[in-house]
Chain A
């Protein structure tokens, strides 16, 4: 087990390295630089800035410097936020994004799971059709349509939740963004679970169990759910990636200081170091999450444990 984990870890390092290299050169290939603005800088001042941030060295030199710094655990200074290190900004943004993402994922699993089970109990019933069509709609309406509607309804019309912002330890601020982020995933998970649950319930041994008069809820929760969760688990990888992308929209609309918003603004402002830092973090998160998914998968499906 430990050997497996270590092997995965070592396999991940070159991947991250390639990712970093790719991102570094792509970012540098983009036209415009961090100091371009509507206001033009006198050449001496621009030169001073470039040398301060070591942008005056040849590109390969900058790349080597950067890689060396990263290997020492230093992600460099931010270009956009004067006097901040990238690691500080990530340390500020990551908890926010994680809180948002984890809550949204849990909500999606709980609600999506509940809907999936409800619908799978009576396939073809009115309830099933209703739930599944709702879920399809949930997948089909983009985040940025849902978010303003949620604000309109809950913050303006009902006035019971804040319209945006992120105050320290104010949980009310999280409700709408988490819901907006979770909705498409709720819908997706519900559909996924329903389908696999129906398949599982059709298995011969469960048919036998049912024929023997095992109560429905025991049938589902004790026997069918475990194998039926496999596709949901393997969806968690893409789901995390989806939540990351979705968080860009949600963070922007609700004004939340998370990584998604940092990332987009850093890319647009050519804040090279911050972009690379966030990319690296995202890459590591995705890899780590895939690893966790594999572990979960192994735990739920003994047949896979040997590989």
Chain B
């Protein structure tokens, strides 16, 4: 195995991503405005200016776009992170159990996965959002619950391969139960694969959230997300281009970085000769 080196591309992507995350988290504190504050005395739909500290301008309700873009980023990243986590947990658990235990359970779980694959995904999410209302937590679950399928399949395949390896056989001989083996030996060996998939899933999830916002099924106002901001901005594009420009730039750059990162991770994983997907 080659020593752990990170390529310059990966380091740059990581650093830039860290910058975006840091900006999104601390940025709003530097602005005199709050996220949902309407500046009744100020100009609405004002162009970006330094004078009133409206660095990105204001939206059509007189709210500061700089703060809103960053607050929206918090939500988008949060939805992305939590939903990815949900899909990872479900996917890894399901895939590892199915792959390791095999037999009937494997058949059943994979059958479920097949059925869910044939379910038009957007139908699922739309109905969930309608049923449960616009609760942020439920959105995580809804999006995550849909995205675990790929994960489960890949993990299962990998586990099938792992099951034949010597150290698993050794663990079995030493009297560990199936669940213990899965937890202590199978899951840790899936980390590389999971990291790659997480990096691939994250941008997808962020896009799904923005798609929901487009349908009007996104986060509850006055909270916002990049998707919601872009949707508003696209509507006002020819009047106030900045209301589209800034959120779209943030979203696109973040997705770009995440995609880059995913690609680098995958390249590293396959070049290390580790568990190939």
A, B assembled together:
yes
- Cβ B238 vs Cβ A152 within 8 A: yes
- Cβ B244 vs Cβ A145 within 8 A: yes
Q: In whole Å, how far is A168's beta carbon from the nearest beta carbon of chain B?
A: 27
Stretch from B84-92, B114-122, B167-175 at the A interface: B114-122
Q: In whole Å, how far is B12's beta carbon from the nearest beta carbon of chain A?
A: 13
- Cβ A244 vs Cβ B127 within 8 A: no
Chain B residues, CB < 8 A from A287: 118
Residues B246-274 near A (CB distance < 8 A): 248, 251-253, 255-256, 259-260, 263
- Chain A CB within 8 A of B136 CB: no
* Chain A: CB-nearest residue to B123: A279
Q: How far is the CA of A241 from the CA of B210 in the complex (A)?
A: 17
> A140: which of B230, B237, B251 is its contact (CB, 8 Å)?
B251
> B234: which of A19, A30, A31, A145 is its contact (CB, 8 Å)?
A145
- Chain A CB within 8 A of B20 CB: no
Q: How large is the interface on B (under 10, 10 to 19, 20 to 34, 35 or more residues)?
A: 35 or more
- Cβ A267 vs Cβ B259 within 8 A: no
Q: In whole Å, how far is B114's beta carbon from the nearest beta carbon of chain A?
A: 6
Q: How far is the CA of A282 from the CA of B251 in the complex (A)?
A: 30
- Chain A CB within 8 A of B51 CB: no
- Cβ A27 vs Cβ B127 within 8 A: yes
Max count, chain B CB within 10 A of own CB: residue among A136, A142, A275, A279 = A142
Chain A residues, CB < 8 A from B127: 26-27, 30, 267
Chain A residues, CB < 8 A from B256: 136-137, 140
Q: In whole Å, how far is B212's beta carbon from the nearest beta carbon of chain A?
A: 11
Chain B residues, CB < 8 A from A191: 263
Q: How far is the CA of A29 from the CA of B118 in the complex (A)?
A: 21
Q: In whole Å, how far is B213's beta carbon from the nearest beta carbon of chain A?
A: 9
- Cβ B123 vs Cβ A286 within 8 A: no
- Chain B CB within 8 A of A227 CB: no
Chain B residues, CB < 8 A from A282: 120, 123
Chain B residues, CB < 8 A from A109: none
- Cβ B118 vs Cβ A283 within 8 A: yes
Q: How far is the CA of A27 from the CA of B215 in the complex (A)?
A: 18
- Chain B CB within 8 A of A16 CB: yes
> B230: which of A22, A145, A244, A275 is its contact (CB, 8 Å)?
A145
Q: In whole Å, how far is B177's beta carbon from the nearest beta carbon of chain A?
A: 32
- Cβ A245 vs Cβ B211 within 8 A: yes
- Cβ A148 vs Cβ B121 within 8 A: no
Contact indicator per residue, chain A 236-248, by CB within 8 Å of chain B (1) or not (0):
0000010011001
Chain A residues, CB < 8 A from B211: 142, 144, 245, 249
Chain B residues, CB < 8 A from A278: 120, 123
Chain A residues, CB < 8 A from B230: 142, 144-145
Chain B residues, CB < 8 A from A141: 248, 252
Chain B residues, CB < 8 A from A16: 118
* Chain B: CB-nearest residue to A286: B118
Max count, chain A CB within 10 A of own CB: residue among B120, B122, B253 = B120
Contact indicator per residue, chain A 258-282, by CB within 8 Å of chain B (1) or not (0):
0000011001100000010011001
Residues A1-50 near B (CB distance < 8 A): 12, 15-16, 18-19, 22-23, 26-27, 29-31
Can you list 10 A-B pairs, Cβ within 8 angstroms, ordered by A?
A: A15-B114, A15-B115, A22-B119, A140-B256, A142-B230, A145-B230, A148-B234, A152-B238, A244-B122, A267-B130
Residues of B within 8 A of A (CB): 114-115, 117-123, 126-127, 130-131, 203, 207, 210-211, 214-215, 227, 230-231, 234, 237-238, 244, 248, 251-253, 255-256, 259-260, 263
